Structure 1
Amino acid sequence: MSKRVIDKIDALIFEDEFPIYVNRVTESFTQLEHTHDFYEMTYVAEGRGTHYINGQAVPVSRGDLFWIPLGVSHVFRPAGASSRESLIVYNCIFQEEAMSMAEQAHTSSLFTFYRQLSGWRGIRAVDHAFASLFEALHREYTGSLDFGRLTVQCNWLMLLIQFKRALEQPSASAMQGVATTFDSMLLEIRNHPERDHTAEKAARSLQLGVRQLQRLFRERMDMGFKSYLQDVRIQQCCELLRTTELTVTEIHQAVGYQDAKHFHALFKRKTGKTPGAYRRSVRM
Protein backbone atom coordinates (compact mmCIF):
# COMPACT_ATOMS: atom_id res chain seq x y z
CA MET A 1 0.00 0.00 0.00
CA SER A 2 1.44 3.35 -1.04
CA LYS A 3 2.12 6.17 1.41
CA ARG A 4 -0.42 8.34 -0.43
CA VAL A 5 -3.18 5.75 0.09
CA ILE A 6 -2.19 5.28 3.75
CA ASP A 7 -2.27 9.04 4.33
CA LYS A 8 -5.73 9.21 2.74
CA ILE A 9 -7.04 6.39 4.94
CA ASP A 10 -5.58 8.04 8.04
CA ALA A 11 -7.26 11.33 7.14
CA LEU A 12 -10.63 9.57 6.87
CA ILE A 13 -10.24 7.71 10.18
CA PHE A 14 -8.57 10.26 12.44
CA GLU A 15 -10.91 13.25 12.59
CA ASP A 16 -9.54 16.75 13.14
CA GLU A 17 -6.06 15.31 13.71
CA PHE A 18 -7.19 13.58 16.92
CA PRO A 19 -4.91 10.48 16.93
CA ILE A 20 -7.39 8.06 18.53
CA TYR A 21 -10.37 6.43 16.81
CA VAL A 22 -13.00 4.08 18.27
CA ASN A 23 -15.74 2.12 16.53
CA ARG A 24 -18.07 -0.84 17.01
CA VAL A 25 -18.57 -3.10 14.00
CA THR A 26 -20.33 -6.30 13.00
CA GLU A 27 -17.74 -8.42 11.24
CA SER A 28 -18.54 -10.08 7.91
CA PHE A 29 -16.99 -12.04 5.08
CA THR A 30 -16.49 -8.89 2.97
CA GLN A 31 -13.69 -7.42 5.09
CA LEU A 32 -10.25 -8.29 3.72
CA GLU A 33 -7.18 -9.34 5.63
CA HIS A 34 -5.14 -6.17 6.04
CA THR A 35 -2.23 -4.42 7.71
CA HIS A 36 -2.00 -0.84 8.92
CA ASP A 37 0.50 1.73 10.11
CA PHE A 38 -1.21 2.46 13.42
CA TYR A 39 -1.68 0.49 16.64
CA GLU A 40 -4.91 -1.33 17.38
CA MET A 41 -6.63 -2.86 20.38
CA THR A 42 -9.73 -4.85 19.53
CA TYR A 43 -12.29 -6.43 21.84
CA VAL A 44 -14.88 -9.09 21.04
CA ALA A 45 -18.17 -7.81 22.49
CA GLU A 46 -20.61 -10.41 21.17
CA GLY A 47 -20.69 -13.67 19.26
CA ARG A 48 -17.93 -15.99 18.19
CA GLY A 49 -15.77 -16.61 15.15
CA THR A 50 -12.13 -16.72 14.11
CA HIS A 51 -9.41 -14.08 14.18
CA TYR A 52 -6.94 -14.73 11.37
CA ILE A 53 -3.82 -12.94 12.52
CA ASN A 54 -0.30 -13.10 11.16
CA GLY A 55 -0.74 -16.56 9.66
CA GLN A 56 -2.59 -18.05 12.63
CA ALA A 57 -6.28 -18.80 13.16
CA VAL A 58 -7.45 -17.98 16.66
CA PRO A 59 -11.01 -18.89 17.77
CA VAL A 60 -12.66 -15.92 19.48
CA SER A 61 -15.70 -15.25 21.62
CA ARG A 62 -16.95 -12.55 23.97
CA GLY A 63 -14.21 -11.20 26.23
CA ASP A 64 -11.24 -11.75 23.92
CA LEU A 65 -8.92 -8.76 23.61
CA PHE A 66 -6.02 -8.29 21.18
CA TRP A 67 -3.06 -5.95 20.85
CA ILE A 68 -2.10 -5.58 17.16
CA PRO A 69 1.13 -3.68 16.44
CA LEU A 70 2.19 -2.00 13.22
CA GLY A 71 2.36 -4.15 10.10
CA VAL A 72 0.61 -7.27 11.47
CA SER A 73 -2.01 -8.65 9.07
CA HIS A 74 -5.36 -9.72 10.44
CA VAL A 75 -9.09 -10.08 9.81
CA PHE A 76 -12.07 -11.32 11.82
CA ARG A 77 -14.56 -13.82 10.44
CA PRO A 78 -17.91 -14.66 12.09
CA ALA A 79 -18.85 -18.27 12.75
CA GLY A 80 -21.49 -18.04 10.01
CA ALA A 81 -23.59 -15.69 7.93
CA SER A 82 -26.83 -15.76 9.95
CA SER A 83 -27.80 -13.00 12.38
CA ARG A 84 -27.67 -15.56 15.19
CA GLU A 85 -23.94 -15.94 14.51
CA SER A 86 -23.01 -12.24 14.50
CA LEU A 87 -19.51 -11.29 15.62
CA ILE A 88 -19.42 -7.76 17.09
CA VAL A 89 -16.07 -6.13 17.81
CA TYR A 90 -14.90 -2.85 19.33
CA ASN A 91 -11.77 -1.32 17.76
CA CYS A 92 -9.60 1.30 19.41
CA ILE A 93 -6.90 2.42 17.00
CA PHE A 94 -4.31 5.08 17.58
CA GLN A 95 -1.24 6.61 16.04
CA GLU A 96 2.22 6.98 17.53
CA GLU A 97 1.28 10.62 18.00
CA ALA A 98 -1.25 9.63 20.67
CA MET A 99 1.53 8.21 22.83
CA SER A 100 3.80 11.15 22.13
CA MET A 101 1.07 13.60 23.17
CA ALA A 102 0.38 11.76 26.44
CA GLU A 103 3.97 10.90 27.26
CA GLN A 104 5.01 12.28 30.63
CA ALA A 105 7.35 11.03 33.32
CA HIS A 106 4.63 8.82 34.83
CA THR A 107 3.60 7.28 31.48
CA SER A 108 7.01 6.81 29.88
CA SER A 109 7.43 3.20 31.06
CA LEU A 110 3.91 2.32 29.87
CA PHE A 111 4.53 3.49 26.31
CA THR A 112 8.02 1.95 26.28
CA PHE A 113 6.38 -1.38 27.13
CA TYR A 114 4.07 -1.20 24.10
CA ARG A 115 6.67 0.10 21.70
CA GLN A 116 8.95 -2.81 22.61
CA LEU A 117 6.25 -5.48 22.61
CA SER A 118 7.15 -7.86 19.78
CA GLY A 119 4.32 -9.42 17.85
CA TRP A 120 0.62 -9.48 18.63
CA ARG A 121 -0.81 -10.44 22.00
CA GLY A 122 -4.22 -11.55 23.16
CA ILE A 123 -5.95 -12.33 26.42
CA ARG A 124 -9.17 -14.10 27.25
CA ALA A 125 -10.87 -11.95 29.88
CA VAL A 126 -13.38 -14.49 31.21
CA ASP A 127 -14.92 -11.97 33.61
CA HIS A 128 -15.48 -9.48 30.75
CA ALA A 129 -13.55 -6.88 32.71
CA PHE A 130 -12.70 -4.85 29.62
CA ALA A 131 -16.27 -4.55 28.36
CA SER A 132 -17.08 -1.42 30.37
CA LEU A 133 -13.85 0.27 29.26
CA PHE A 134 -14.62 -0.22 25.57
CA GLU A 135 -18.26 0.76 26.03
CA ALA A 136 -17.15 4.00 27.71
CA LEU A 137 -14.55 4.66 25.01
CA HIS A 138 -17.12 4.23 22.26
CA ARG A 139 -19.79 6.27 24.06
CA GLU A 140 -17.45 9.20 24.65
CA TYR A 141 -15.91 9.06 21.17
CA THR A 142 -19.26 9.00 19.33
CA GLY A 143 -21.09 11.35 21.71
CA SER A 144 -21.09 15.11 22.05
CA LEU A 145 -20.49 15.41 25.78
CA ASP A 146 -18.24 18.07 27.31
CA PHE A 147 -14.60 17.00 27.53
CA GLY A 148 -15.35 13.97 25.34
CA ARG A 149 -11.88 13.73 23.83
CA LEU A 150 -10.22 14.19 27.19
CA THR A 151 -12.35 11.34 28.55
CA VAL A 152 -11.46 9.20 25.54
CA GLN A 153 -7.78 9.80 26.24
CA CYS A 154 -8.23 8.91 29.93
CA ASN A 155 -10.11 5.69 29.14
CA TRP A 156 -7.55 4.83 26.46
CA LEU A 157 -4.74 5.16 29.01
CA MET A 158 -6.66 2.99 31.47
CA LEU A 159 -7.12 0.38 28.73
CA LEU A 160 -3.36 0.27 28.07
CA ILE A 161 -2.62 0.01 31.80
CA GLN A 162 -5.13 -2.78 32.43
CA PHE A 163 -4.00 -4.79 29.40
CA LYS A 164 -0.36 -4.51 30.48
CA ARG A 165 -1.28 -5.72 33.97
CA ALA A 166 -3.26 -8.63 32.52
CA LEU A 167 -0.34 -9.72 30.35
CA GLU A 168 2.02 -9.62 33.31
CA GLN A 169 -0.15 -11.73 35.61
CA PRO A 170 1.39 -15.22 36.01
CA SER A 171 -2.07 -16.79 35.83
CA ALA A 172 -3.18 -14.83 32.76
CA SER A 173 -4.87 -16.81 29.99
CA ALA A 174 -2.73 -15.32 27.24
CA MET A 175 -2.52 -15.97 23.51
CA GLN A 176 0.74 -15.21 21.76
CA GLY A 177 1.97 -15.14 18.19
CA VAL A 178 4.30 -18.10 18.65
CA ALA A 179 4.03 -20.93 16.15
CA THR A 180 3.54 -24.49 17.38
CA THR A 181 3.32 -27.76 15.45
CA PHE A 182 -0.46 -27.41 15.49
CA ASP A 183 -0.20 -23.81 14.28
CA SER A 184 2.15 -24.90 11.50
CA MET A 185 -0.42 -27.44 10.36
CA LEU A 186 -3.10 -24.71 10.31
CA LEU A 187 -0.79 -22.48 8.30
CA GLU A 188 -0.17 -25.27 5.78
CA ILE A 189 -3.93 -25.53 5.22
CA ARG A 190 -4.25 -21.76 4.83
CA ASN A 191 -1.33 -21.55 2.39
CA HIS A 192 -2.47 -24.55 0.32
CA PRO A 193 -6.25 -24.96 0.69
CA GLU A 194 -6.45 -26.74 -2.67
CA ARG A 195 -4.57 -29.80 -1.43
CA ASP A 196 -6.30 -33.02 -0.38
CA HIS A 197 -6.44 -32.24 3.34
CA THR A 198 -8.12 -34.85 5.52
CA ALA A 199 -8.43 -35.33 9.26
CA GLU A 200 -6.55 -38.61 8.91
CA LYS A 201 -3.56 -36.97 7.19
CA ALA A 202 -3.52 -34.08 9.66
CA ALA A 203 -3.64 -36.47 12.59
CA ARG A 204 -0.70 -38.46 11.24
CA SER A 205 1.33 -35.26 10.77
CA LEU A 206 0.86 -34.50 14.48
CA GLN A 207 1.31 -38.13 15.51
CA LEU A 208 -2.20 -38.21 16.95
CA GLY A 209 -5.27 -40.33 16.48
CA VAL A 210 -8.18 -38.81 14.54
CA ARG A 211 -10.30 -38.54 17.71
CA GLN A 212 -7.45 -36.77 19.50
CA LEU A 213 -7.09 -34.37 16.58
CA GLN A 214 -10.81 -33.58 16.57
CA ARG A 215 -10.72 -32.99 20.32
CA LEU A 216 -7.73 -30.66 19.88
CA PHE A 217 -9.58 -28.74 17.15
CA ARG A 218 -12.61 -28.36 19.41
CA GLU A 219 -10.43 -27.08 22.25
CA ARG A 220 -8.31 -24.73 20.15
CA MET A 221 -10.60 -23.67 17.31
CA ASP A 222 -14.10 -24.24 18.71
CA MET A 223 -14.89 -26.21 15.55
CA GLY A 224 -14.01 -29.51 13.92
CA PHE A 225 -11.34 -30.13 11.28
CA LYS A 226 -13.87 -30.17 8.41
CA SER A 227 -15.43 -26.84 9.45
CA TYR A 228 -12.01 -25.22 9.69
CA LEU A 229 -11.03 -26.44 6.22
CA GLN A 230 -14.31 -25.15 4.81
CA ASP A 231 -13.81 -21.73 6.41
CA VAL A 232 -10.30 -21.41 4.99
CA ARG A 233 -11.39 -22.42 1.50
CA ILE A 234 -14.39 -20.08 1.47
CA GLN A 235 -12.21 -17.21 2.70
CA GLN A 236 -9.77 -17.88 -0.16
CA CYS A 237 -12.68 -17.95 -2.61
CA CYS A 238 -13.80 -14.56 -1.32
CA GLU A 239 -10.32 -13.17 -1.90
CA LEU A 240 -10.16 -14.54 -5.45
CA LEU A 241 -13.64 -13.26 -6.28
CA ARG A 242 -12.60 -9.81 -5.18
CA THR A 243 -9.13 -9.60 -6.70
CA THR A 244 -9.19 -11.69 -9.88
CA GLU A 245 -11.22 -12.18 -13.06
CA LEU A 246 -11.26 -15.96 -12.69
CA THR A 247 -14.63 -17.60 -13.25
CA VAL A 248 -16.51 -19.05 -10.31
CA THR A 249 -15.76 -22.54 -11.61
CA GLU A 250 -12.04 -21.81 -11.85
CA ILE A 251 -12.09 -20.39 -8.33
CA HIS A 252 -13.84 -23.27 -6.59
CA GLN A 253 -11.58 -25.75 -8.35
CA ALA A 254 -8.52 -23.69 -7.36
CA VAL A 255 -9.30 -24.13 -3.66
CA GLY A 256 -10.10 -27.83 -3.84
CA TYR A 257 -13.84 -28.07 -4.60
CA GLN A 258 -14.76 -30.10 -7.68
CA ASP A 259 -18.50 -30.42 -7.04
CA ALA A 260 -20.04 -27.10 -8.16
CA LYS A 261 -23.44 -27.74 -6.54
CA HIS A 262 -21.86 -28.54 -3.18
CA PHE A 263 -19.60 -25.48 -3.43
CA HIS A 264 -22.44 -23.06 -4.23
CA ALA A 265 -24.55 -24.34 -1.34
CA LEU A 266 -21.62 -24.14 1.09
CA PHE A 267 -20.59 -20.65 -0.06
CA LYS A 268 -24.10 -19.27 0.43
CA ARG A 269 -24.42 -20.93 3.84
CA LYS A 270 -21.10 -19.44 4.98
CA THR A 271 -21.39 -15.93 3.52
CA GLY A 272 -25.12 -15.42 3.03
CA LYS A 273 -24.61 -14.74 -0.71
CA THR A 274 -24.03 -16.63 -3.93
CA PRO A 275 -20.49 -16.28 -5.36
CA GLY A 276 -21.77 -13.98 -8.12
CA ALA A 277 -23.65 -11.75 -5.66
CA TYR A 278 -20.62 -11.62 -3.41
CA ARG A 279 -18.36 -10.53 -6.29
CA ARG A 280 -20.80 -7.78 -7.25
CA SER A 281 -21.12 -6.54 -3.66
CA VAL A 282 -17.37 -6.14 -3.11
CA ARG A 283 -16.82 -4.40 -6.44
CA MET A 284 -19.56 -1.80 -6.17
Structure 2
Amino acid sequence: MDIHSRKRMGVDTLNERYASREPEHMKLAVEAGGLLFDIDLDVGFFSSTAYEWGQEFSHNHAAYEIHLVQKGRCIMYVDDTYAELEAGSYCVIPPGTYHSQLSVMQGAVVKICFRFSYRATSGGKPHSAGGETNVLLRVLDAMTFYTQKDDGRLSLLVSAVQDELQAQPLGYLAKVRSLFAQMMIDIIRFAPSASSAAYGFPEQTPDDLRTNVIDAFFASHYNGDIREEDLARQLNVSTRQLNRILNERYRASFRQKLLQTRMKVAMDLLKNTDMPVSHIAERVGYQTAGSFYTAFKTNVGITPLAFRQG
Protein backbone atom coordinates (compact mmCIF):
# COMPACT_ATOMS: atom_id res chain seq x y z
CA MET A 1 0.00 0.00 0.00
CA ASP A 2 1.34 3.45 -0.93
CA ILE A 3 2.60 5.34 2.11
CA HIS A 4 0.30 8.31 1.40
CA SER A 5 -2.82 6.28 0.77
CA ARG A 6 -5.60 5.02 2.97
CA LYS A 7 -7.11 1.63 2.51
CA ARG A 8 -10.63 1.22 3.72
CA MET A 9 -10.79 -1.87 5.92
CA GLY A 10 -14.42 -1.92 6.99
CA VAL A 11 -17.42 0.22 7.66
CA ASP A 12 -18.68 0.74 11.17
CA THR A 13 -22.38 0.25 11.67
CA LEU A 14 -22.66 3.97 12.40
CA ASN A 15 -22.30 4.60 8.67
CA GLU A 16 -25.44 2.64 7.94
CA ARG A 17 -27.31 4.39 10.76
CA TYR A 18 -26.51 7.86 9.50
CA ALA A 19 -26.39 7.39 5.74
CA SER A 20 -29.97 8.44 5.16
CA ARG A 21 -30.32 11.37 7.57
CA GLU A 22 -26.96 12.96 8.30
CA PRO A 23 -25.38 15.70 6.15
CA GLU A 24 -21.79 15.44 4.97
CA HIS A 25 -20.97 18.88 6.35
CA MET A 26 -22.61 20.89 9.12
CA LYS A 27 -21.77 24.07 11.01
CA LEU A 28 -23.16 24.94 14.44
CA ALA A 29 -22.93 28.07 16.59
CA VAL A 30 -22.76 27.10 20.26
CA GLU A 31 -22.74 29.47 23.25
CA ALA A 32 -20.95 28.53 26.47
CA GLY A 33 -19.45 30.65 29.22
CA GLY A 34 -19.91 33.94 27.37
CA LEU A 35 -18.14 32.56 24.29
CA LEU A 36 -19.49 31.62 20.88
CA PHE A 37 -18.00 28.41 19.48
CA ASP A 38 -18.25 27.71 15.76
CA ILE A 39 -18.38 23.93 15.43
CA ASP A 40 -17.43 22.44 12.07
CA LEU A 41 -18.58 18.87 11.43
CA ASP A 42 -17.66 16.96 8.29
CA VAL A 43 -17.39 13.34 7.22
CA GLY A 44 -14.82 12.79 9.97
CA PHE A 45 -17.62 13.23 12.51
CA PHE A 46 -20.58 11.67 10.74
CA SER A 47 -18.78 8.62 9.38
CA SER A 48 -17.19 6.40 12.02
CA THR A 49 -15.22 4.21 9.61
CA ALA A 50 -12.27 1.91 10.20
CA TYR A 51 -9.20 2.70 8.10
CA GLU A 52 -5.70 1.32 7.83
CA TRP A 53 -3.54 4.40 7.57
CA GLY A 54 -0.22 5.07 6.01
CA GLN A 55 1.69 8.25 6.71
CA GLU A 56 -0.25 11.45 6.04
CA PHE A 57 1.23 14.60 4.63
CA SER A 58 1.87 17.07 7.43
CA HIS A 59 -0.83 19.73 7.41
CA ASN A 60 -2.56 22.28 9.63
CA HIS A 61 -5.94 23.94 10.04
CA ALA A 62 -7.23 27.40 10.86
CA ALA A 63 -9.30 25.97 13.73
CA TYR A 64 -8.82 23.66 16.70
CA GLU A 65 -9.15 19.99 15.78
CA ILE A 66 -10.28 17.17 18.06
CA HIS A 67 -9.39 13.52 17.41
CA LEU A 68 -11.26 10.98 19.56
CA VAL A 69 -10.04 7.40 19.08
CA GLN A 70 -12.85 4.89 19.48
CA LYS A 71 -11.01 1.74 18.42
CA GLY A 72 -7.40 0.75 17.84
CA ARG A 73 -4.19 2.73 18.40
CA CYS A 74 -2.25 5.20 16.30
CA ILE A 75 0.78 7.47 16.44
CA MET A 76 0.41 11.20 15.81
CA TYR A 77 3.29 13.47 14.88
CA VAL A 78 2.57 17.01 16.07
CA ASP A 79 5.14 19.83 15.91
CA ASP A 80 8.15 17.50 16.25
CA THR A 81 6.42 15.52 19.01
CA TYR A 82 5.27 11.90 18.83
CA ALA A 83 2.05 11.03 20.65
CA GLU A 84 0.41 7.64 20.91
CA LEU A 85 -3.38 7.61 20.98
CA GLU A 86 -5.29 4.53 22.04
CA ALA A 87 -8.98 3.73 22.17
CA GLY A 88 -10.72 5.91 24.72
CA SER A 89 -8.34 8.86 24.40
CA TYR A 90 -8.35 12.09 22.45
CA CYS A 91 -6.07 14.92 21.43
CA VAL A 92 -6.58 18.63 20.82
CA ILE A 93 -4.58 20.25 18.02
CA PRO A 94 -4.51 24.09 18.08
CA PRO A 95 -4.84 26.21 14.92
CA GLY A 96 -1.75 26.46 12.73
CA THR A 97 -0.16 23.38 14.30
CA TYR A 98 1.36 21.03 11.73
CA HIS A 99 0.45 17.41 12.33
CA SER A 100 0.14 14.04 10.65
CA GLN A 101 -0.72 10.48 11.55
CA LEU A 102 2.31 8.29 11.06
CA SER A 103 0.94 4.81 11.46
CA VAL A 104 -1.70 2.56 12.92
CA MET A 105 -0.74 0.10 15.60
CA GLN A 106 -2.49 -3.27 15.87
CA GLY A 107 -4.61 -2.98 12.75
CA ALA A 108 -7.30 -0.48 11.89
CA VAL A 109 -8.21 2.61 13.88
CA VAL A 110 -11.62 4.23 14.24
CA LYS A 111 -11.65 7.96 15.02
CA ILE A 112 -14.14 10.77 15.32
CA CYS A 113 -12.90 14.25 14.36
CA PHE A 114 -14.34 17.74 14.45
CA ARG A 115 -13.06 21.32 14.49
CA PHE A 116 -13.98 24.46 16.37
CA SER A 117 -13.08 28.12 16.66
CA TYR A 118 -14.29 30.65 19.21
CA ARG A 119 -14.94 34.31 19.92
CA ALA A 120 -16.52 36.35 22.69
CA THR A 121 -20.25 36.93 22.27
CA SER A 122 -21.51 40.49 21.93
CA GLY A 123 -23.23 40.17 25.30
CA GLY A 124 -20.54 38.06 26.90
CA LYS A 125 -18.84 40.77 28.92
CA PRO A 126 -17.24 39.28 32.03
CA HIS A 127 -18.23 40.78 35.37
CA SER A 128 -14.58 41.29 36.34
CA ALA A 129 -11.05 40.74 35.10
CA GLY A 130 -11.12 37.36 36.80
CA GLY A 131 -14.60 36.46 35.53
CA GLU A 132 -15.41 33.15 33.89
CA THR A 133 -15.41 34.41 30.30
CA ASN A 134 -11.96 35.97 30.66
CA VAL A 135 -10.58 32.82 32.28
CA LEU A 136 -11.94 30.64 29.48
CA LEU A 137 -10.41 32.99 26.91
CA ARG A 138 -7.03 32.89 28.64
CA VAL A 139 -7.03 29.10 28.73
CA LEU A 140 -8.00 28.84 25.06
CA ASP A 141 -5.48 31.45 23.95
CA ALA A 142 -2.70 29.59 25.79
CA MET A 143 -3.83 26.10 24.76
CA THR A 144 -1.16 23.89 23.22
CA PHE A 145 -1.36 20.39 21.78
CA TYR A 146 -2.38 17.87 24.42
CA THR A 147 -3.67 14.33 24.76
CA GLN A 148 -6.15 13.16 27.36
CA LYS A 149 -7.62 9.87 28.49
CA ASP A 150 -11.38 10.06 28.06
CA ASP A 151 -13.28 9.05 31.19
CA GLY A 152 -16.17 8.10 28.93
CA ARG A 153 -17.89 11.47 29.11
CA LEU A 154 -16.68 12.82 25.75
CA SER A 155 -17.57 9.57 24.00
CA LEU A 156 -21.05 9.63 25.52
CA LEU A 157 -21.59 13.24 24.46
CA VAL A 158 -20.44 12.48 20.90
CA SER A 159 -22.73 9.45 20.75
CA ALA A 160 -25.66 11.52 22.04
CA VAL A 161 -25.03 14.16 19.35
CA GLN A 162 -24.95 11.51 16.63
CA ASP A 163 -28.19 9.98 17.92
CA GLU A 164 -29.93 13.38 17.92
CA LEU A 165 -28.76 14.17 14.39
CA GLN A 166 -29.91 10.79 13.18
CA ALA A 167 -33.37 10.77 14.79
CA GLN A 168 -33.95 14.55 14.50
CA PRO A 169 -36.71 14.70 17.16
CA LEU A 170 -38.37 17.95 18.18
CA GLY A 171 -35.73 20.37 19.49
CA TYR A 172 -32.80 18.26 18.31
CA LEU A 173 -30.67 21.24 17.25
CA ALA A 174 -31.08 22.88 20.66
CA LYS A 175 -30.12 19.57 22.29
CA VAL A 176 -27.07 19.19 20.03
CA ARG A 177 -25.89 22.71 20.87
CA SER A 178 -26.28 21.94 24.57
CA LEU A 179 -24.23 18.74 24.21
CA PHE A 180 -21.46 20.55 22.33
CA ALA A 181 -21.42 23.28 24.99
CA GLN A 182 -20.66 20.56 27.55
CA MET A 183 -17.93 19.15 25.30
CA MET A 184 -16.27 22.53 24.92
CA ILE A 185 -16.13 23.13 28.67
CA ASP A 186 -14.71 19.64 29.31
CA ILE A 187 -12.06 20.09 26.61
CA ILE A 188 -11.02 23.44 28.12
CA ARG A 189 -10.96 22.04 31.67
CA PHE A 190 -8.39 19.38 30.80
CA ALA A 191 -6.10 21.70 28.83
CA PRO A 192 -2.64 22.14 30.40
CA SER A 193 -3.21 25.90 30.44
CA ALA A 194 -6.25 25.40 32.70
CA SER A 195 -4.21 24.07 35.63
CA SER A 196 -3.37 27.56 36.89
CA ALA A 197 -6.67 29.16 35.96
CA ALA A 198 -8.82 30.29 38.85
CA TYR A 199 -11.58 32.77 39.45
CA GLY A 200 -14.04 33.63 42.15
CA PHE A 201 -17.58 34.82 42.13
CA PRO A 202 -18.15 37.95 40.04
CA GLU A 203 -17.32 41.13 41.86
CA GLN A 204 -20.30 43.23 42.86
CA THR A 205 -20.67 46.64 41.32
CA PRO A 206 -21.71 49.68 43.40
CA ASP A 207 -25.21 49.34 41.93
CA ASP A 208 -25.38 45.69 43.07
CA LEU A 209 -24.30 46.67 46.57
CA ARG A 210 -26.94 49.41 46.74
CA THR A 211 -29.63 46.93 45.71
CA ASN A 212 -28.49 44.53 48.43
CA VAL A 213 -28.69 47.29 51.05
CA ILE A 214 -32.16 48.37 49.90
CA ASP A 215 -33.55 44.83 49.83
CA ALA A 216 -32.10 44.06 53.26
CA PHE A 217 -33.47 47.31 54.70
CA PHE A 218 -37.07 46.66 53.64
CA ALA A 219 -36.87 42.95 54.53
CA SER A 220 -35.74 43.81 58.06
CA HIS A 221 -37.82 46.90 58.81
CA TYR A 222 -41.08 46.59 56.84
CA ASN A 223 -43.10 46.19 60.05
CA GLY A 224 -41.61 49.21 61.80
CA ASP A 225 -41.99 52.96 61.69
CA ILE A 226 -39.30 53.65 59.10
CA ARG A 227 -38.53 56.81 57.17
CA GLU A 228 -36.80 57.69 53.92
CA GLU A 229 -34.02 59.35 55.90
CA ASP A 230 -33.11 56.04 57.56
CA LEU A 231 -32.40 54.29 54.27
CA ALA A 232 -30.82 57.37 52.67
CA ARG A 233 -28.38 57.51 55.58
CA GLN A 234 -27.34 53.88 55.02
CA LEU A 235 -26.73 54.56 51.32
CA ASN A 236 -25.04 57.89 52.03
CA VAL A 237 -27.35 59.74 49.63
CA SER A 238 -30.00 62.43 49.94
CA THR A 239 -33.69 61.49 50.11
CA ARG A 240 -34.10 62.94 46.62
CA GLN A 241 -31.31 60.71 45.30
CA LEU A 242 -32.82 57.77 47.18
CA ASN A 243 -36.17 58.08 45.45
CA ARG A 244 -34.46 58.38 42.08
CA ILE A 245 -32.55 55.15 42.82
CA LEU A 246 -35.74 53.38 43.93
CA ASN A 247 -37.55 54.51 40.80
CA GLU A 248 -34.72 53.29 38.55
CA ARG A 249 -34.50 49.86 40.20
CA TYR A 250 -38.03 49.15 41.36
CA ARG A 251 -40.21 51.67 39.53
CA ALA A 252 -41.49 52.69 42.97
CA SER A 253 -41.15 55.43 45.57
CA PHE A 254 -40.07 54.74 49.14
CA ARG A 255 -43.69 54.48 50.33
CA GLN A 256 -44.64 52.24 47.39
CA LYS A 257 -41.68 49.92 47.97
CA LEU A 258 -42.58 49.64 51.67
CA LEU A 259 -46.20 48.87 50.79
CA GLN A 260 -45.15 46.25 48.21
CA THR A 261 -42.96 44.52 50.79
CA ARG A 262 -45.73 44.49 53.40
CA MET A 263 -48.28 43.09 50.94
CA LYS A 264 -45.87 40.38 49.77
CA VAL A 265 -45.25 39.23 53.36
CA ALA A 266 -48.96 39.40 54.17
CA MET A 267 -49.91 37.27 51.15
CA ASP A 268 -47.32 34.68 52.13
CA LEU A 269 -48.68 34.51 55.69
CA LEU A 270 -52.27 34.28 54.48
CA LYS A 271 -51.51 31.39 52.13
CA ASN A 272 -49.08 29.42 54.24
CA THR A 273 -50.21 29.90 57.85
CA ASP A 274 -53.41 29.86 59.91
CA MET A 275 -52.47 33.12 61.62
CA PRO A 276 -55.51 35.35 62.26
CA VAL A 277 -55.80 38.38 59.99
CA SER A 278 -55.50 40.72 62.98
CA HIS A 279 -52.15 39.15 63.89
CA ILE A 280 -50.94 39.37 60.29
CA ALA A 281 -51.90 43.05 60.24
CA GLU A 282 -49.76 43.68 63.30
CA ARG A 283 -46.92 41.53 61.92
CA VAL A 284 -46.63 43.62 58.75
CA GLY A 285 -46.73 46.99 60.50
CA TYR A 286 -50.39 48.04 60.73
CA GLN A 287 -51.78 49.29 64.03
CA THR A 288 -55.32 48.11 63.30
CA ALA A 289 -56.85 45.26 61.33
CA GLY A 290 -59.12 47.79 59.61
CA SER A 291 -56.27 49.81 58.12
CA PHE A 292 -54.60 46.59 56.95
CA TYR A 293 -57.88 45.36 55.45
CA THR A 294 -58.29 48.60 53.48
CA ALA A 295 -54.67 48.65 52.27
CA PHE A 296 -54.80 44.98 51.23
CA LYS A 297 -58.04 45.29 49.25
CA THR A 298 -56.84 48.49 47.57
CA ASN A 299 -53.54 46.97 46.43
CA VAL A 300 -54.41 43.30 45.86
CA GLY A 301 -57.98 43.77 44.68
CA ILE A 302 -59.69 41.38 47.11
CA THR A 303 -60.03 41.08 50.88
CA PRO A 304 -57.47 39.17 52.98
CA LEU A 305 -60.02 36.39 53.71
CA ALA A 306 -60.93 36.04 50.03
CA PHE A 307 -57.24 35.79 49.16
CA ARG A 308 -56.71 33.09 51.79
CA GLN A 309 -59.67 31.08 50.52
CA GLY A 310 -58.84 31.55 46.83
Larger Rg: 2
Specify which structure has the bigger relative contact order, considering alpha-carbon pairs within 8 angstroms and separated by 6 or more residues. 1
* Bucket of the pairwise TM-score, normalised by the shorter protein: 0.3 to 0.5
Provide TM-score, normalisation by structure 1.
0.45
Provide TM-score, normalisation by structure 2.
0.41
